[in-house]
Each structure stands twice: as structure tokens, then as C-alpha cells.
């Protein structure tokens, strides 16, 4: 029996990248996983298939987190499959924005809508579905604490807002034994970073140089941190910002 046997988890943006890695790990730990996706149904079904191939259970839910009423639409679908939630991972996000001299209002609004507004209202409408003793993990970024990539300023700002959300929400939900934390990856090898890592000569080496460990992270390594916070072992950690950058901020 896995450490999350009998639990239900929801991971937003779980069709690929870090979100998929988290969903697969929680599935291996025994949770029944709601795999959220925005557009790519085929990729979400691949995540479900991977979880099921490992002996786990999962289902897909679709919601465009950039659209009005997205949170209500997400929970309406979730309720068709489950009657409560134990682990919520807010992972979905827009990962890049243009520099301040180039970004327009529409792009700025879009990244804040998906990265900040959506998690806020997912929790607003989901708190009653979260069982006592549950877990909330918000996926932040090392860029919330360093100006090493200032051209990605608007994105980094959204992650700073998400960290405040985690801190304050931990006080709101703490009386019910629900923990709330931010996990901050550094540069992770996903399709979102493929251009940076594989699209130019020396890209991988430059990225690895940020890390004190001299490497580029994987989705599985971030998922391991999330899995700890979701487990009984993480019960006394809340309101925290967990550095999962491989020492990129040292």
C-alpha cells in the first residue's frame, strides 16, 4: 500500500512537464489522481495511462485557466469523479514572458490570470472540498527570489504573489490541519525549456552552471519534494518556501 493510499489528489497542468512528473509520483504513492489539462487532451490521457500502467488510478479534467469561471468549471468536472480532495497541487502556469520593454497589457494580464488568479479561485471554491489534514502545494520558481533572469520579470512577479498566497493561506487552513507550501524549482529539463537547453550550443552547460550541484533538474526530482510535503512526513511543514533549485540560489 502506498503512503497516499485512499487519498485523492488534483494536479493542475498535469499533461506534461513538472505537472506530469508530480501526477505520476502521487499515483505511484497510491493517490487517485485528477489530471487537469487546458488544451492537450491526448497528453493528459498519456499521463493517466502512465499512472495506470504503474498500478495507480487517475482521471482527466479539462479547464482553460485563462477563461472566466475556470475554477468553477474545474470543480464541476472534478465532482463527477470524486467526493472530496486530500492533495491539491497548483502547477499549471505560463512559464515565460517578454521583457518589460516589449510586453503588452494582454500578455501581462494573461500570465497573472493563469499563474495567480486561477490558483486563488481554485482554492476559494475548493476549500470546502479539501478534507481536514489535507495538503496544498503551489509550484513557485527560484526566480521569485533572484533577478538572474530579469527579462522574465512579469512571470517572476506572479510567483512572488503565489508565495504570499501560500504563506497567508497556511494561516487560514491551518486550524483544519491542512498544510500549504510553495515549492520552487530552478531550471528543469522539460519541453518548456527545450529551446534554452537543447536549442543552442552550450545551453545545457550554461544552465547547469547555475546549480551548486552542477546539473539541470528533472521533473521527477521536483515531484519527490512535492511527494514529501504531501505525505505524513510533511505534516509539520506549512507556510514555507521550499527551494528545489539544486542550489541555484546559493
In whole angstroms, what is the distance from residue 29 CA to residue 4 CA?
5
Spatial contact of 111 and 155, defined as CB atoms under 8 Å apart: yes
Give the burial string for 36-60 (b: 16+ CB within 10 Å, else e): bbbeeeebbeebbebbeeeebebbb
Please pick, among 141, 166, 182, 211, the residue that the annotation labels catalytic.
Answer: 141
In whole angstroms, what is the distance from residue 219 CA to residue 211 CA?
15
Helix (H, G, I), strand (E, B) or coil at 63: coil
Catalytic residue at 159? yes
Catalytic residue at 37? no
Catalytic residue at 211? no
Please pick, among 15, 37, 140, 166, the residue that the annotation labels catalytic.
Answer: 140
Catalytic residue at 117? no
Please pick, among 15, 37, 155, 211, the residue that the annotation labels catalytic.
Answer: 155
Please pick, among 159, 166, 211, 248, the residue that the annotation labels catalytic.
Answer: 159
Would the CA dihedral through 233, 237, 241, 246 be positive or negative?
Answer: negative
Which residues are designated catalytic? 140-141, 155, 159
Amino acid at each position: 500500500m502506498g503512503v497516499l493510499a485512499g487519498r485523492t489528489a488534483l494536479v493542475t497542468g498535469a499533461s506534461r512537464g513538472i505537472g506530469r512528473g508530480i501526477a505520476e509520483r502521487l499515483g505511484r504513492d497510491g493517490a487517485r489522481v485528477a489530471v487537469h489539462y487546458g488544451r492537450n487532451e491526448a497528453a493528459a490521457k498519456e499521463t493517466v495511462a502512465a499512472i495506470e500502467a504503474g498500478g495507480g488510478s487517475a482521471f482527466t479534467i479539462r479547464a482553460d485557466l485563462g477563461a472566466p469561471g475556470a475554477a468553477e468549471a474545474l470543480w464541476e468536472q472534478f465532482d463527477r469523479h470524486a467526493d472530496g480532495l486530500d492533495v491539491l497541487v497548483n502547477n499549471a502556469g505560463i512559464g515565460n514572458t517578454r521583457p518589460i520593454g516589449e510586453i503588452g497589457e494582454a500578455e501581462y494580464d494573461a500570465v497573472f490570470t493563469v499563474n495567480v488568479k486561477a490558483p486563488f479561485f481554485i482554492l476559494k471554491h475548493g476549500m470546502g472540498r479539501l478534507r481536514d489534514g489535507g495538503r496544498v502545494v503551489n509550484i513557485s520558481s527560484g526566480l521569485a527570489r533572484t533577478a538572474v533572469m530579469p527579462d522574465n520579470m512579469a512571470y517572476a512577479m506572479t510567483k512572488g504573489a503565489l508565495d504570499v498566497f501560500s504563506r497567508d493561506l497556511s494561516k487560514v487552513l491551518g486550524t483544519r490541519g491542512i498544510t500549504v507550501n510553495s515549492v520552487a524549482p530552478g531550471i528543469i529539463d522539460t519541453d518548456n525549456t527545450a529551446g534554452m537547453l537543447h536549442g543552442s550550443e552550450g545551453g545545457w552547460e550554461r544552465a547547469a552552471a547555475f546549480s551548486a550541484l552542477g546539473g539541470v533538474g528533472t521533473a521527477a526530482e521536483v515531484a519527490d519534494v512535492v511527494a514529501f510535503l504531501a505525505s505524513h512526513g510533511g505534516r509539520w511543514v506549512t507556510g514555507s518556501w521550499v527551494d528545489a533549485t539544486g542550489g541555484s540560489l546559493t
